[in-house]
Amino acid sequence: MPEELLEVALDTASGPGVRFADVRLFTHHRFEYVSVRNGQPAALTLKDESGLGVRVLREKGWGFAATTTLTRPSVKEAARWARDLAKLAERTGSSIPFAEESELPRNGSYETPLREDPFKVPLEEKVGMLMAAEKSLHTGPSIKTGEAVCTSWQEEKRYLSTEGASYTSKMTHVGAGVSVTAVGGGEVQRRSYPTSFGGDFAQGGFEHVRDFDLMGHAEECGKTGEALLNAPSCPKGKMNLVLASDQLALQVHESVGHATELDRILAYEAGYAGTSFVKAEERERLRYGSPQMTVVADATVPNGLGTFGWDDEGVPAQKTTLVEEGILVGFLSSRETAARRSLQRSGGTMRGDGPLRMPLIRMTNINLVPGDRSKDELVEEAGNGLYMETNVSWSIDDKRLNFQFGCEVGRLIRNGELTELVRNPMYSGMTPAFWGSLKAKGDEKTYHHWGIPNCGKGQPSQVMHVGHGAPMGLFTDVKIGGAV
Amino acid sequence: MKAEWGPDGGLDILGKVLSQVKGEADARYYQGRRTYLRFANSRLYQPLHEETVSISLRVAVDRGRLGVATTTDISEGGLAELVDRATSMAKKAPKLERFPGFPQDPRERTAKAPASKSIIDGELEGKAKELSEALGLVQSELKDARTSGVYSQGLTLLAVANTSSLSRSTIRTIAHSSFLTEKMDVDPTTSGWAEQTHWDPAKVNLVTLAKEAVARTPREKASSLKPGTYRVLLGSPAVADLIDMLSYCMGAVAVEEGWSFLEGMKGKQLASKAVTIDDDPLDPIGLPEAIDFEGMPTRKRTVFDKGIPAGPAHDTLTAARLGGKTTCSALPPEAPYGSVGPIPRHLTFDRGDANIDEMVKELRRGVIVTRLHYVRFVHRKKTIITGMTRDGTYWVEKGEIKGPVTNLRLTDGILRVLAGTEIVGKDLRCHGRGVTASVVPSLLVHGLTFPTATTF
């Protein structure tokens, strides 16, 4: 039946004037969310959804339609909608280029390598693990809330296009984390492990959740949360800044990843997400940062949340350099945007967050290549300044220039050593100037590949899973502190 | 199998689900249809249409072990599997303290709110023509313009039933549009914005919105303004951006966890006396919702009375846990909403009596902010947020608009905005933001902090 529905959709979508059409059928789109808060279940949800999305390209217009009802009449109706909307889009448009792709999959297959399927791990075991970890978070009376969370996704997808491309994909993602909210003296502080907003995430099986060792880190998480309540406020002024890997990963996400998306650069997402300070003609010319800065988009990283076999228009996963020793050299692209900028081929970054959404250019794994300093060497090189770890607040303008980030934890650096804790640390800057101040990077030991499952973009809104590898980094003369 | 778009739609299917549950349960049937006419680079680009059906089932075993499952497969086999999954989750869940059971409410099955017949009938061609006209208008009235945005319309059938006799359904329609107009022959480009959300597409006039956006688009280059503290006139989109964030601080879970500003503040003067805000799910200017996601009929509640806050929003679970009564503000129990808990989602300001020209005059010297971008909490308890101004930031001197200024980062408290409100505008507009739809005016605020600026 599923194979038949793919063909029904493609046949209905095709016809006079249709240059290209493709269909994505999600037979299963599973999502499990287990959360324990203060010893009580906060949410236990198991979703299993399915659906089909059809995309049609005419000479001058795209159309897309989707349905969750997997019957022949509903699928036909969706395909007709996609065809009719593409025709409607032609009323106001000019020709849409679409790059050829020479490595389209023919009965391709991609499956996440894993040891333990998270959907086969008994729920009792997950709940027990989270209850134990959550209990250990309560290190004192000021811990008002402890929370332990475990999340799993599994997506089984079939892809078929009028070019004859076809593949099957089965991807599994997992994540887990613990956090506390400490309250006292009119102050509220949060502390998380392995990082904030649900923890860390990876492509793979439940073995990653076990490796996080939530229980082993919960007590320290609680104690730090308590200590932050009585810590002095973050100092203000310009100073050297050492960013931990998790915060630097988010900095890469917001100020490099989104800024190099070619659909934003070409203003196709201007109405909601915004555009970019990067101009398409600045490739090989724009100085993005210091020579220390090399950033790659790599959809082949093992266990990366942005790793896959083929994207949602049949282009194989690739590794593309975006910034080479501080110079912009590449973009995140699609078959349309690659053709618009005469690139050799699409970078293979088109993904929709499910069957109901039109694929967009999305980050894959956007990684800052590590350097050669140990953590101690970076702190010593900073001399005096601030160390920040774990994001709590992030905001950047619609061209990805002016940003302000807050972290959970700050530590003063004095005479080349990490000293006391400060609360509500915050820094701000302008993208090229900030990256221009990157003086040194941490080595492989400071490097971690983080999973971010909540990257928002698109209208209607889509939430994508992306990955970021980042070491620690030392930046000079950064504006620190301010609001709190 | 899909329900008909009728008053009892979905309830029959929920009846089949609940009849298979051994124990207590509630269930929601969602059926949706929505079309988005997206436009970018001044042309219709990637329009899309979706038709969705799903069911969420929450099963309670042993008076307090809760499990939630959802499915899009509403065949007989799919429903049976849904019941198995939710029951299995519930049996393995830790027991919730003070579980009150699901609400009993045998009143009428159909809950009515205003809904658009043209949306229910699937009429779209008229709006497609209106959009073409609007795009053409921008090109003719604004030299070197680039237009982006969306018009979307859709309907949702929500049916809720439980094993305690409640059984209710409703239909909701939505029409939404936003226009971004950029002037490309100015370097850096300048931009203007207009948006509106309403249940009735006739009230979301695309040509009118295009005209508004064009009028707000600066024709000349923006001059830079030093970061600092200024008197501010916040346009209704900016007010909606802030009020949407505030609603998350006004739920029972935020109070329970200690990060809500409401904790210990009931009855205190936190906002200006000029500020009265209701949570009014039935406001005809907004997006009326007749029931919450527990199936309870919604009702109006004042959340700020002349600047004094009331208590938090509750559903039946938080009301039983924390003491109080449900305010009929339940969100769906499934992730990602389940852990958010109930929040006021229809914040509606009492209108003031000043029009926008009078407010500019009263601003005397300060900044006009049309809207904000990427607003995030810096400190939730203090309601401090940060976000960038966008698409129409102007400097006012001696009560007159002097010209556009480059965008600024606003980092300040939402409560400080409400406390510093001097004048409330008389024109109210609905702005949809995710799960909230607030009906808000422009506000004149006496002093807000902009710590940094950008270059455009």
Gap between the Cα atoms of A81 and B124, Å rounded: 12
Gap between the Cα atoms of A55 and B73, Å rounded: 23
Burial class (CB in 10 A: 0-12, 13-18, 19+), B144: exposed
State whether A92 and B132 contact (CB < 8 Å).
yes
Residue B6 has pLDDT above 80, yes or no: no
Output the pLDDT for position A42.
81
Output the pLDDT for position A156.
97
Residue-wise burial string across A202-221, b where 16 or more C-beta atoms lie within 10 A, e elsewhere:
bbbbbebbeebebbebbeeb
Q: Of A211, A230, A249, which residue sits at a domain end? A: A230
Strand partners, A189: A182
Same domain, A117 and A241: no
**Please, what sign has the CA dihedral across residues A256, B434, A270, A343?**
positive
Same domain, A226 and A243: no
Output the pLDDT for position B236.
98
Q: Maximum CA pair distance of chain A? A: 73
Residue B170 has pLDDT above 90, yes or no: yes
The pair phi, psi for residue A71, each rounded to 5°, is -125, 160
Question: Taking Cα atoms as reference points, which of A203, A48, A135, A210 lies closest to residue B88?
Answer: A48
CB pairs under 8 A between A and B: 263
- At B204-251, the pLDDT tens digits run 999 999 999 999 999 999 999 999 999 999 999 999 999 999 999 999
Output the pLDDT for position A36.
93
Give the Cα-Cα-Cα angle A230, A231, A236 (nearest 5 degrees). 140
For residues B12 and B48, is the Cβ–Cβ distance under 8 A? Answer: no
State whether B257 and A394 contact (CB < 8 Å).
no
- Using a CB-CB cut-off of 8 Å, the residues of chain A touching B412 are 483
Gap between the Cα atoms of B300 and B398, Å rounded: 40
Residue B5 has pLDDT above 80, yes or no: no
**Three-class SS string for A383-401?**
CCEEEEEEEEEEEECCCCC
The gap from C-alpha A457 to its chain's centroid, in whole angstroms, comes to 11
Output the pLDDT for position B339.
81
CATH of the domain at A201: 3.30.2290.10
- At B326-350, the pLDDT tens digits run 999 999 999 888 788 999 999 999 9
Q: What token pair was written down for A302?
A: 């093992």
- Using a CB-CB cut-off of 8 Å, the residues of chain B touching A85 are 35, 47-49
A74 contacts chain B (CB < 8 A):
yes
Q: What token pair was written down for B13?
A: 């299917």
State the smallest CA–CA distance between residue B431 and chain A in angstroms.
14
3-state SS, residue B57: strand
B262-B264-B269-B275 Cα dihedral, nearest 10 degrees: 20
Catalogue the E-assigned strands of B184-324: 190-198, 228-234, 277-279, 301-305, 308-309
3-state SS, residue A271: coil
State whether A401 and B180 contact (CB < 8 Å).
no
3-state SS, residue B223: strand
Same domain, A406 and A322: yes
- In a mutational test of the A interface, the residue from B35, B49, B96, B375 whose CB has the highest number of chain A CBs within 10 Å is B49
State the smallest CA–CA distance between residue B432 and chain A in angstroms.
13
The gap from C-alpha B129 to its chain's centroid, in whole angstroms, comes to 27
> In total, how many domains does chain A have?
2
A397 contacts chain B (CB < 8 A):
yes
State whether A93 and B43 contact (CB < 8 Å).
yes
Where does the pLDDT of residue B7 fall: very low under 50, low under 70, confident under 90, or very high at 90 and above? low
Q: Of A230, A260, A275, which residue sits at a domain end? A: A230
Of all residues in chain B, the percent with pLDDT exceeding 90 is 91
Of B34, B46, B70, the CB nearest to A62: B46
Same domain, A191 and A244: no
Gap between the Cα atoms of B384 and B374, Å rounded: 14
- In a mutational test of the A interface, the residue from B92, B97, B147, B191 whose CB has the highest number of chain A CBs within 10 Å is B92
State whether B374 and A85 contact (CB < 8 Å).
no
For residues B177 and B151, is the Cβ–Cβ distance under 8 A? Answer: yes
Output the pLDDT for position A398.
97
Same domain, A97 and A187: yes
Output the pLDDT for position A348.
98
The DSSP output letter for A254 is: I
Within A390-475, residue ranges assigned H as helices are 431-436
Integer CA distances (angstroms), A177 to A149, A226, A249, A471, B216, in order: 6, 18, 17, 20, 45
Q: What token pair was written down for B47?
A: 């329009």
Output the pLDDT for position A93.
82
Same domain, A151 and A260: no
State whether B451 and A41 contact (CB < 8 Å).
no
Left (φ > 0), alpha (ψ -120 to 50) or beta: where does B305 sit?
Answer: beta
Q: What is the domain partition of chain B in residue ranges?
A: 11-216, 228-453
CA of B456: which chain A residue's CA is closest? A399
Q: Which residue has the tokens 């409703």?
A: B170
State whether A46 and B386 contact (CB < 8 Å).
no
The gap from C-alpha B233 to its chain's centroid, in whole angstroms, comes to 21
Q: Which residue has the tokens 């807050």?
A: A406
Left (φ > 0), alpha (ψ -120 to 50) or beta: where does B20 sit?
Answer: alpha
Residue B279 has pLDDT above 90, yes or no: yes
Same domain, A208 and A242: no
Output the pLDDT for position A479.
97
Same domain, A181 and A283: no
Output the pLDDT for position A40.
83
What size, in residues, is chain A? 484
For residues B284-302, average pLDDT: 96
The DSSP output letter for A257 is: I
A472-A475-A479-A483 Cα dihedral, nearest 10 degrees: 0
Question: Taking Cα atoms as reference points, which of B27, B60, B434, B409 lies closest to residue A402?
Answer: B409
Residue B2 has pLDDT above 90, yes or no: no
Q: Domain of A371?
A: 237-480
Where does the pLDDT of residue B362 fall: very low under 50, low under 70, confident under 90, or very high at 90 and above? very high
Integer CA distances (angstroms), A371 to A9, A368, B31, in order: 50, 9, 52
For residues B206 and B130, is the Cβ–Cβ distance under 8 A? Answer: yes
Output the pLDDT for position B1.
65
The gap from C-alpha A212 to its chain's centroid, in whole angstroms, comes to 19
Gap between the Cα atoms of A5 and B63, Å rounded: 43
For residues A397 and A407, is the Cβ–Cβ distance under 8 A? Answer: no
Same domain, A476 and A377: yes
3-state SS, residue A135: helix
Give the Cα-Cα-Cα angle A156, A162, A163 (nearest 5 degrees). 100
State whether B52 and A78 contact (CB < 8 Å).
no
Same domain, A166 and A272: no
For residues A163 and A198, is the Cβ–Cβ distance under 8 A? Answer: no
A188 contacts chain B (CB < 8 A):
yes
For chain A, positions 192-251, list CB contacts with chain B under 8 A. Answer: none
Gap between the Cα atoms of B374 and B380, Å rounded: 16
Strands B308-309, B301-305: pairing is antiparallel
Integer CA distances (angstroms), B141 to A122, B131, B150, B182, in order: 63, 15, 20, 12
Output the pLDDT for position A483.
63
State whether A393 and B94 contact (CB < 8 Å).
no
Output the pLDDT for position A373.
98
Same domain, A246 and A329: yes
Strand partners, A316: A310
Give the Cα-Cα-Cα angle B398, B403, B407 (nearest 5 degrees). 115
- At A238-289, the pLDDT tens digits run 999 999 999 999 999 999 999 999 999 999 999 999 999 999 999 999 999 9
Q: What token pair was written down for A158?
A: 């079939």
A114-A318-A275-A469 Cα dihedral, nearest 10 degrees: 50
Catalogue the E-assigned strands of A199-299: 200-203, 237-243, 295-298
Interacting residues of B31 by C-beta distance below 8 A, sequence separation 6+: B2, B3, B5, B9, B10, B52, B53, B156, B157
Which range, of A268-272, B92-96, B118-122, B323-327, averages the lowest pLDDT?
A: B92-96
**CATH code 3.30.2290.10 for B11-216:** yes
- The count of C-alpha atoms lying within 13 angstroms of the C-alpha of B250, restricted to the half-sphere facing its C-beta, is 28
Same domain, A213 and A146: yes
The DSSP output letter for A253 is: I
For residues B130-152, average pLDDT: 97
Q: Identify the segments of chain A with pLDDT beneath 70.
A: 1, 482-484
Of A47, A92, A484, the CB nearest to B135: A92
State whether A46 and B178 contact (CB < 8 Å).
no
Gap between the Cα atoms of B226 and B273, Å rounded: 31
- At B309-326, the pLDDT tens digits run 999 999 999 999 999 999
CA of B98: which chain A residue's CA is closest? A40
State whether A402 and B69 contact (CB < 8 Å).
no
